[in-house]
Amino acid sequence: SYHGTLGVAYDVTSKDFLAIEYYGLTRKRDERQQNLTKSLWGNFNTGLLKYERTISNLSSFNITADLGDYGSDIDLDISDSSSVRNKRSYISLQADYKNSFFGRKDNFSAGVIYYALDDNTQGIDSFFDYSENLSSLFLSYSYNFSRIAIASNIIGTYYDINSKSYFKIVPTFSLRYFINRRKGNLLNLSFSRRFTRPMVSMLNPVPIIGENQFIDIGNPNLKPFVTNNFSYRLTLKNKFYIDRKS
């Protein structure tokens, strides 16, 4: 196998920072598993671009771009499942702004995220095409009082997956109350909503022989789901905990 990283970082000005990085990997090997030989080939390339602007001691603006592609072949020395070809490419873009309005007592951030993925798998008698485009807007804020600390975050995302689109809002909130900060006694309350989508490998119906000749087959009919989580934790002397999650 061959792999390498090439990068450069440069302070454009005293307030502007730029970094570029490339990583590449080419790998080929044969694996003997009981009575069959599996030949694996993979090629992976990624590129990263990061720009940071320092506005003040308490605020900054950042842009990050990440893109890459991956290709792989799996060849087997048996006739009923001879090969699997996979090709994947992605791009991720993010821009965010961070600031503190009251010294270092609070933190504010806002930004946008775009992510696109294309995945194609070709088997001996089946194939799987998958594409997704995600556009997100996020806001977060936290503030520390003398005995109370609050933190909140909200993310709104528009999903376009295999020509099916929907919009989801995911909020989180937490509150910490310091009963006695010096003795390490505090109460923490939190709420979070999570939107979970199945991974691409869980959706892929093309049979792939893995380790010990187990065959992995995904289900393209799997659906995402939403969960709401409430929890509290009472901490005493930074050693003892009483908590509950639901």
DSSP E strands, the chain: 2-11, 16-33, 36-54, 60-76, 83-99, 106-122, 127-144, 148-161, 164-180, 185-196, 208-209, 215-216, 225-236, 240-245
Whether 60 and 51 have beta carbons less than 8 Å apart is answered as: no
**Per-residue pLDDT tens digits for 198-216:** 888 888 888 776 555 667 7
**Per-residue pLDDT tens digits for 60-71:** 999 999 999 998
pTM: 0.84
CA dist 175 and 11 (Å) reads: 39
Mean pLDDT lowest for which of 38-42, 95-99, 129-133, 228-232? 38-42
pLDDT for position 80? 46
**Per-residue pLDDT tens digits for 35-61:** 656 667 788 999 999 999 999 999 999
Map residue 203 onto helix, strand or coil. Answer: helix
Measured in whole angstroms, how far is the alpha carbon of residue 93 from the centre of its chain? 13
Residue 72's pLDDT band, with cuts at 50, 70 and 90, is confident
